């Protein structure tokens, strides 16, 4: 298993603490280390830092190297422009498939989560990794403590194996009244935005379902292939 951390956001929703010059993933919000550093810390018991990759904007590369001095330039993937999650992952996988086999599993996660129970986090990743090796596309859910309107919800289906459930549907961000109903239903979980997958499987699904976006992304691949970690 390898890891891809999405760390290119501008953090505008966390203004004024988060600024363009120092977005929230580089702030010390949950302790004495930045959000990005804490994200890497959670992964290091499971993999070496050489298998951890950061995808970010060119303007944020100096901040990434400042916060993660042990990371090599080859482990920083630069977006050619601001991208949504799906093309950002696909572009990164196109780079990573040059370095890993197509059946390599990869955890994709944001750089701005606070996770207190790191042991439970590691256990969930290990279970998800085994499921992904069998061909599953794994997403992670959080049992809600309150009706959150800023997140989507996952409706869980039957349990497939220990801690792994099928997904009935995704529910986009809901208003407060609807969120109250969802948060009170045992089968609905907050969408954490972490996914665990095999390289080739993700690319096949991405190109099949997002043809127009895929064409735009492919126009940027020559630069990615000719300039290493720069896309």
pLDDT of 211 > 70? The answer is no
Q: List, for residues 79-122, the tens digit of each pLDDT value.
A: 876 767 777 888 888 888 889 988 889 999 989 888 888 999 99
pLDDT of 191 > 50? The answer is yes
C-alpha dihedral over 93, 171, 38, 92, to 10 degrees? Answer: 10
The partner residues of 226 in beta bridges, in order of sequence, read: none
Main-chain phi, psi angles of 211, to 5 degrees:
-55, -50
Can you point out the beta strands (E) in the chain?
2-6, 52-57, 76-79, 105-110, 138-142, 153-161, 164-171, 188-198
Does 126 or 156 have the greater pLDDT score?
126
Does 1 or 190 have the greater pLDDT score?
1
pLDDT of 52 > 80? The answer is yes
Q: List, for residues 7-37, the tens digit of each pLDDT value.
A: 876 666 655 555 666 778 888 888 899 999 9
> For domain 2-135+196-226, which architecture applies?
Alpha-Beta Complex (3.90)
Question: What pLDDT sits at residue 18?
Answer: 59
pLDDT of 184 > 50? The answer is no
pTM for the whole structure: 0.82
pLDDT of 182 > 50? The answer is no
C-alpha dihedral over 130, 102, 140, 127, to 10 degrees? Answer: 10
């Amino acid at each position: 298993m390898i890891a891809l951390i999405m760390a290119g956001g501008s953090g505008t929703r966390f203004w004024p603490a988060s600024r363009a010059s120092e977005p929230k993933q580089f702030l010390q919000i949950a302790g004495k280390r930045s959000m990005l550093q804490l994200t890497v810390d959670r992964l290091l018991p499971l993999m070496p830092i050489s298998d951890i990759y950061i995808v970010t904007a060119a303007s944020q590369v100096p901040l990434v190297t400042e916060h993660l001095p042990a990371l090599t330039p080859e482990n920083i993937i630069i977006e050619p422009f601001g991208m949504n999650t799906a093309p950002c992952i696909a572009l990164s996988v196109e780079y990573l498939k040059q370095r890993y086999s197509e059946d390599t599993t990869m955890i994709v996660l944001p750089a701005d989560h606070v996770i207190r129970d790191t042991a439970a986090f590691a256990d969930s990743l290990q279970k998800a990794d085994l499921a992904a090796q069998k061909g599953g596309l794994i997403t992670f859910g959080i049992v809600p403590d309150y009706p959150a309107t800023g997140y989507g919800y996952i409706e869980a289906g039957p349990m497939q194996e220990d801690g792994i459930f099928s997904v009935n549907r995704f529910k986009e961000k809901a208003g407060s009244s609807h969120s109250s109903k969802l948060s009170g239903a045992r089968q609905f979980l907050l969408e954490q935005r972490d996914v665990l997958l095999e390289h080739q499987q993700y690319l096949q699904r991405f190109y099949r379902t997002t043809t127009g976006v895929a064409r735009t992304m492919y126009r940027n691949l020559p630069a990615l292939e000719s300039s290493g970690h720069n896309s």
